[in-house]
Amino acid sequence: MKTLLLFVLTALAEIVGCYLPWLWLRRDGSAWLLLPAAVSLAVFVWLLTLHPTASGRVYAAYGGVYVAVALLWLWQVDKVAPTRWDLLGVALCLCGMAVIMFSPRAA
């Protein structure tokens, strides 16, 4: 559960770090949005270092959680309901993440 929560926090930091510049560029937001965006992306990178396994495995598994959090963002922030195909894709991604992160490893 701790690993999944860490992945979710990491994904939120990345999404916020990318969403704020998007607001600036696409929605005529203030250039001041770039400052919290940079901080959020720095937090994202720092959070990636807290994962307890090899970086390549973390990046691969993180991708599945990122997809799930991005679709939650789509639903909650963009107010676009995910389709059943979106949900199937998320389920497949999360199954892949679980296989990568929680499979038995040789010591």
Segment 29-73, tens digit of pLDDT:
999 999 999 999 999 999 988 987 778 888 888 899 999 999 999
At how many degrees (to 10) do helices 2-26 and 34-49 cross?
160
Q: Over 70: is that where the pLDDT of 2 sits?
A: yes
Segment 72-89, tens digit of pLDDT:
999 999 999 999 999 999
According to the model, what pLDDT value does residue 103 have?
85
Stretch 91-99: mean pLDDT? 92
Q: Over 70: is that where the pLDDT of 107 sits?
A: no
Q: pTM for this one? A: 0.83
